[in-house]
Each structure stands twice: as structure tokens, then as C-alpha cells.
Structure 1
Amino acid sequence: MELHPYLQQKDFVEWQKSKGIHMMQFSPLANQNNFYRDIHWATGKAETARLTDEPVLKEIGKKHGKSAAQVALAWGLANGRSVIPKSVIDGQIRENLESDFPLDQEDMDRIATLDRKLRFNDPSSAYEWNLYSDLESAWSNAT
């Protein structure tokens, strides 16, 4: 399921845990492409920061000697989930594999504040059906 610090889906995650379902995070780094982020009509710039540019994740990363991407992946692992970041770039693949480091409670609390309910992978318009109407999403109630 799509799950990252910008879309934490706490209620759905708790429901899945209560059913003994192990979660695998799809798009654990959100989506890094401008195409998937809101582009302001006047400036032509994305209004949502890339997750890897998120100051909170960068600060936590600096504390641990890691990148913001590694912090986002460590957050998923710390919550007992599998994370499947996508990359074809050797350096990024190596970096992703070095994301199994502990985050302390302060780190986890700070990451919890980043939940913006931003879903980047939503095929609802293609299917002409709101697939996520009963899940947490900034766009769920917009249609």
C-alpha cells in the first residue's frame, strides 16, 4: 500500500495490524517526480516538497549520518513494515540498503507530524471511481 511520512494512514495501518496483515510500503519515498505533485498555476513550481527535501527528515538524517531517504525508509522498518523503494541507480540502491538503523522516539514523533494525507498514486480518475473514498487522503473528500 502507498505509505510514507506524507501519507501515514494510521487508522488503516492499525486495522491491518489487528488482522495480522504484514504491510509492504509501496512508494515509501512518496513520489519524487514533479508530475505527481501539485504545480502552482502561476509559478509552475511544485507546492509540495519532495519527501527527500523535507527539512525534518534532513535534520534527523544529519543526526544519524544518513540521508532523508534513508530516514524515510528506516521509519517504515521501525514500524515493522517491508519497504520497497524503486531505483535503477547503483548509488541509490546501495543507500537504500543502508537504511536499517534505529530511530529514537523523538525521531518517530517528529516524523508523525509530517502526515499530510498526500496520496501520489491514485488511479481513481482512470477507473472513474473514487478508490480511496473511505481511507485517509487529502483528496478523498475533494471529489
Structure 2
Amino acid sequence: MAAVPVVNFSNGKSMPSFGLGTWKSPKGEVAEAVKVAIAFGYRHIDCAWVYGNEEEVGQAINAKIDDGTVKREDLFITTKLWNTFHRPDLVEAAMKESLQRLGLSYVDLYLIHWPVGFKEDTGESFPKDADGTFSLSDADYLDTWKEMESLVEKGLTRSIGVSNFNSEQIQRILQMEGLKHAPVNNQVEISPYITNDKLISFCREKGIVVTAYSPLGSADHPLFKSDPTFRRVFDEPSLQAVAKKYGKSVAQVALRWGIQRNTVVIPKSVTPSRIQENFQIFDFQLTQEEMAVVSALNRNFRACAFDRISHGKYYPFYAEF
């Protein structure tokens, strides 16, 4: 089995360039998915507080440590600070709750999940105003970031980063007075339908590794059912032709494209055969022409636009990148 290449962070740590995503992975299925993935060679698991499945993911991780498949230090575990915990006094407790759910003493990477904070202390993960829009927090993510830095110093996480942040928001963190720990990672939506070239270039210039979530184009998005002109990535003839040449699936071609762009890819699946198939992308290489074929599918289609927070001061998708 080919070794998974690693990407290096600006703080000297490193991260496997391929991992298992757990967003939308149902309880009752996600534990088995994580066990299958680790047994097959995955060493990077991506989690988040809001996914509601950290506990089951953690049980699976610890089962594979206990049975001797891996040691804790062989694994790279990411989780994320949810929007309701941006207020500085809530950050550490939220991190510790994730650690307790995961059954771990530290994670390798902790991310601010979105730049937009939600109203605190409501008891709701998605607090809403009377008109149905989300109730937003007054917290500034710069103040949140200072608390994120303290989590590194307390040994609760090895590295910190962001998710769904645009270039201007990242720049604002980098220009903070007294910055101790720069973001090492920005996790954003990237697929053949949203190549995010400018944001990737910006992050690379700043020494920030980019992780691609939904790297296969969110085939479950309602638009694919409601609009007959809108093909799923798997149905693209140009990708099918490349896949046929290598005896691979379209998913494998799309994931290989992500790896060759030096992004980290974290496809989600709870199907054992697909978990294995997704991993089998290190035994072939796309040509420059084939890379261009995949990139040519870009249509800036953002499946996860989260437009119900678009009234927020820190909504990230108004900026060009």
C-alpha cells in the first residue's frame, strides 16, 4: 500500500494529505466507518463538535488504539470550534467538551469552524431569530483567536487554524498585534466545481495549508435533483474518460487532482468499499493536461454557501476569495 504523503505546517508539525471526513456521517454508522478507515491505512480523521458524532468517532479511534492497530501518535485528529462558542470565555470549555467526547487528551488541529459567531447561551446549536435567520454573536473572531492560541500553550491542541475564512479574514488574523500562533490551515470547500484557485494561492503565500472539504462536489445537494442541466461530478464525461484511461473511478480522479494541487482532501463515506476505493489514489498520477481537464469544470458552485448567515458582518463569501 502506498504511503500517504504529508504536508508540512509553518509551525514544524505535519499533516497527512488524505483523511476521512465525518460530516453527515450518521450515528450508528460512523464508528464502523472510522474503524474500517484506520484498518485500511487512513491516519487522518476530520471531526467537528457540530457534527454530533464526536463521541462515536472517538470510541472507534480508541478501539483501534486499544487493539494495537495504531498508536495515538500515528493518528492526526482535527476537530472544530462551533459558532456558538466564539465568545472568548467559552472557547476552552468547548475544546474540552470535544476532547471528552473524543476520549482524547489532545487533538492535532483545532479550527474555528466559521468566521461568523452565533448568539451564545441559548442552548441551541443554530439559534434563530423570529424571522428564521440565525441569531448572531457580537464576538470578533480576533478575540476568539487569542483563546485558540492559549489552547496550544495548554497542550490541548498541537496546531490551530480556521475553516471557511476568506483571504481578508485570514490577513486580519496575521496582522494581529502580539500574534503568537499563525493559522496553519484553512479548511474550505474545494472540488472540480469550485477550484478556489485564488484562495489557495493566497494561503500558500502565507504558509497556510489548505484542506478541501466536499472534494467530490456534494452530490447530495438538492440542485442536482431539481436542475436537469446540472450534472454531478461523477457524471462528467471528461472525467469519465480520464478515469477509464487509468482503470479508476471518477471519484479517484477528482481526489487525485486535489492531492496533486497540494491540497489535503477529506472525502466522507460510511461505505467500507468506498472508503477503501477513495484511498487507492497513490498509485497513479494525472498529467498536466488531465489536471487542466478537471480544473476546466470550475463553475464557482458553492454547495455550502450557508446563506442563512449572509446577514453577518463576518460572512466570508462576499469577498472575491
Task: Specify the TM-score bucket, using the shorter chain as the normaliser.
Answer: 0.7 to 0.9
TM-score normalised by the chain length of structure 2 = 0.39
In the TM superposition, 1:96-107 aligns within 5 A as 96-100=278-282, 101-107=284-290
Residue equivalent to 2:248: 66
Shift of 1:135: 3.1
Shift of 1:21: 0.8
Residue equivalent to 2:189: 2
Residue equivalent to 1:125: 308
Q: CA RMSD in A?
A: 1.7
Please list the CA deviations of residues 75-109 of structure 1 after superposition, one character each: whole Å capped at 9, or x if unmatched.
00011111000000011101101022211111011
- More strand, by proportion: 2
Judge conservation of contact 1:37–1:120 (CA < 8 Å) in 2: no
Instruction: Please give the alpha-carbon distance, in whole angstroms, between the structure 2 residues aligned to 1:11 and 1:34.
Output: 24
1:108 aligns with 2:108: no
1:29 aligns with 2:211: no
Q: Could you tell me the percent identity over the aligned residues?
A: 33
TM-score normalised by the chain length of structure 1 = 0.84
Q: What is the identity, as a one-letter code, of the residue corresponding to 1:15?
A: F
Structure 1 residue ranges, 4+ long, deviating more than 6 angstroms after superposition = none
What 5-or-longer segments of structure 1 have no aligned partner?
41-45, 137-143
Judge conservation of contact 1:38–1:47 (CA < 8 Å) in 2: no
Instruction: Please give the alpha-carbon distance, in whole angstroms, between the structure 2 residues aligned to 1:5 and 1:70.
Output: 12
Query: What SS is found at the alignment partner of 2:241?
Result: helix
Judge conservation of contact 2:252–2:277 (CA < 8 Å) in 1: yes
Residue equivalent to 1:82: 264
Structure scoring higher RCO (CA < 8 A, sep ≥ 6) equals 1
Residue equivalent to 1:15: 202
Query: What SS is found at the alignment partner of 2:226?
Result: coil
Shift of 1:65: 0.8
Please list the CA deviations of residues 12-55 of structure 1 after superposition, one character each: whole Å capped at 9, or x if unmatched.
11101111111111000011114254724xxxxx4311111111
Instruction: Please give the alpha-carbon distance, in whole angstroms, between the structure 1 residues aligned to 2:237 and 2:253.
Output: 12
Which structure would you say has the larger Rg? 2
Please list the CA deviations of residues 98-127 of structure 1 after superposition, one character each: whole Å capped at 9, or x if unmatched.
022211111011112111110001112245
Shift of 1:9: 1.2
Shift of 1:56: 1.2
What 5-or-longer segments of structure 2 have no aligned partner?
1-187
Query: What SS is found at the alignment partner of 2:212?
Result: strand
Residue equivalent to 2:29: none
Instruction: Please give the alpha-carbon distance, in whole angstroms, between the structure 1 residues aligned to 2:267 and 2:215.
Output: 6
